Structure 1
Amino acid sequence: MANAGSSSRQAAWEFYGTELKNRREAAGMTQQELGRRVFVSGGYIGQFEQAIRKPQLDVAARIDEVLQTDGFFERMCRKLIHNSRYAEYFAAAAELEALATRLCEFAPTIMPGLLQTASYARAVILASNPFISDDHIEEKVTARMDRAHLLKNPAKPEYWVILHEHVLRLPTGGRVVMAEQLDHLLALARRRRVLVQVLPYAVGAYPLMGRMLTLMEFEDAPPTAYTEAVYSGNLLDDPALVKRVQAAYDLLRASALSSEASLALIESAAEDYRRCASTT
């Protein structure tokens, strides 16, 4: 189960490799000859054909020129390999997320993607991509909102989230956006679609300091954990390691406020944002 995303990407690589081999042989070229003409080694071409190496966009464009394939490999590279709605490191986790029967998440700095409003998501995306076009921002926002559709299913997944208090206090997108975001979170909690706890500042040091975490459980597969760092993510499916991660999450849960106290704190933070916004 934890390899679902990598399997789909591998299939795309294999399709690319098969087509490359067929077109190369039809042109009467060896791997070495094609590699020399596109400025890589013959072994490099062989790795593409065997789906060992991820196809590279610049090399694909040069292959099209040499094999006179009218942009075929560049288009394949863009559509099959590089055209994902999500960052490459997150794509497999997004696939698993949609299959999970239970999600347990910890967010130390920003609201989890499944809980974000469009305005909040837009502010987060723009902060990390200040030169991005408006169209690209809206594509990313739409992808994030589409992910959240799984919370409209009343049956699954069961979703438990622990937010560090920092998530509530950081005015992402401004006061109006934050008030709207916290109201959205409260609405989901009141509909019993998500169980929310807040880890308060007063706790001080805590397990998994500064690291976001998602634990995923499935009907027919072992549990998997996903952690994320700077432009990178890791899917963990080793049973012993997942057990350690679960233990860390249990410690976070024990240190967090109760659900009732957490919702009261979120309501207070939302009201503070509204009051401050109305006076400016």
Structure 2
Amino acid sequence: MPGPKDLDPASSPRALLGAELRHAREKTGLSQEELGGRLFVSGSFIGQLEAGTRRMQPEYARLLDEVLATEDFFQRNCAASAKSKYPEHFAEAAEAEAVATTIRHYLPLLIPGLLQTPAYAEALFRTYRPMASDPEIEELVATRMERARLLDGPTAPLLWVVLDEAALRRPVGGTAAMAEALHHVASLVGRRRVIAQVLPFSAGTHAAMGGSLKLMEFADAAPLCFVEGLDMGKLLDDPATLARHTLTFSLLQATALSPPDSLALIQSVAQTYEHEQHP
């Protein structure tokens, strides 16, 4: 099991803001639950703010300044912590992902972003943004590849993905890009950077036909769930919702092929793409 991530306050405004929040709360003698009650949120939400896994919103910054008597410290500094290179609907989830110890992810149609190659990502971005310039596309791809480097570090999270067979069969970027993308996934599996299962078409109906699902666990904060759609996404921390989605992912794992059989299918489909290039 990977160890907890170290947050550097000097390089992470959210980590600094979280550390200051913890200091101010403890100075007033309030527990996380007590402070959460003053803000009409849960104690686990306060813990997530302190751990840097949740972004501080302006309305909470104002209330914190009032409750903790910190003048306007949190209001002045929450803007810096909100700056992100990711789209607004995904920014908070991407930042939480970077400090997670465990990530479990299911996508119905795509290879997850953490497992993508530059060619695969470029094909997606050019489809999503047909009027974007080449420099804009290059910047988007570079940001995604930078995010994927999360798997290369010594404290990489335990990443468990369930890939729908549709993600393997849909030729994003053409046969060459797909062959490269699937070989990359197989390589990550072989290097033990990810556990991958494939949910085959033969499984029929399954527990997550309604959309994608990402579950994240942390060393020093309550778990989170991220659900998303077209240009929208939401982080959820309600215990009942998390329990339901955790069960959903467990059902997906039970329905999917075993990791060895999944790897064999990924490699087989990659070879099929290669044969289509060179019949």
The normalised TM-score by structure 2 is 0.73
In structure 2, what is the Cα distance between the partners aligned to 1:231 and 1:146?
A: 21
Cα distance in structure 1, aligned partners of 2:54 and 2:158: 25
Quote the offset at 1:92 in angstroms: 0.3
Who wins on radius of gyration, i.e. which is larger?
1
Distance 1:145 1:274 in 2: 24
How far has the Cα of 1:102 moved from its partner? 0.4
Deviation string, structure 1 residues 103-145 (Cα, Å, up to 9, x no partner): 0010110110000000100001111111111111111111100
Partner of 2:136: 136
Post-superposition CA distance 1:77-114 (Å, at most 9, x none) = xxx69963211010000110001000001011011000
| Contact 1:200–1:256 (Cα < 8 Å) also in 2 | yes
**Which position in structure 1 is the counterpart of 2:177?**
177
Counterpart of 1:101?
101
| 1:81 to 1:131, Cα distance in 2 relative to 1, 3 A | farther
159 and 268 in structure 1: CA distance in 2 versus 1, 3 angstrom threshold: same
Displacement of 1:154 after TM fit? 3.7
The one-letter code matched in structure 1 to 2:227 is: T
Q: Which residue of 1 aligns with 2:86?
A: 86
Q: Is residue 10 of structure 1 aligned with residue 29 of structure 2?
A: no
Q: Which residue of 1 aligns with 2:224?
A: 224
Alpha carbons 1:206, 1:252 under 8 Å: kept = yes
Q: Cα gap change, 1:235/1:82 in structure 2, threshold over 3 Å: closer, same or farther?
A: closer
Q: Which residue type is aligned with residue 92 of structure 2?
A: A
Paired amino acid for 2:58: Q
Query: Does the residue aligned with 2:228 lie in a helix, a strand or coil?
Result: strand
- SS of the equivalent of 1:121 reads helix
Tell me the matched-pair count: 216
SS in 1 for 2:84: coil
Partner-residue secondary structure (3-state), 1:227: strand
Q: Is 1:249 aligned to 2:254, yes or no?
A: no
Residue matched to 2:151: 151
Match of 1:45 in 2: none
How far apart are residue 10 of structure 1 and its match? 3.4
SS in 1 for 2:225: strand
Specify every segment of 5 or more residues in structure 1 that has no aligned partner in the other structure, as ranges. 15-50, 52-75
Q: Which whole-Å CA distance do the structure 2 matches of 1:270 and 1:165 have between them?
A: 12
1:21-60: CA deviation from partner (whole Å, max 9, x where unpaired):
xxxxxxxxxxxxxxxxxxxxxxxxxxxxxx7xxxxxxxxx
1:261 equivalent in alignment to 2:242: no
1:28-47 map, 5 Å: none
Mapped partners of 2:246, 2:266: distance in 1:
25
In the TM superposition, what is the alpha-carbon distance from 1:240 to its structure 2 partner? 1.2
Taking the aligned partners of 1:120 and 1:164, their CA distance within structure 2 comes to 17
2:122 is paired with a residue whose SS is: helix
Q: Give distance in 2, aligned partners of 1:150 and 1:95.
A: 11
Q: Percentage identity across aligned positions?
A: 44
CA distance in 1, matches of 2:123, 2:97: 23
Instruction: Indicate how the Cα distance of structure 1 residues 227 and 266 shifts in structure 2: closer, same or farther if over 3 A, else same.
Output: same
Which residue identity lines up with residue 116 of structure 1 in the other structure?
Q
* Letter matched to residue 124 of structure 1: L
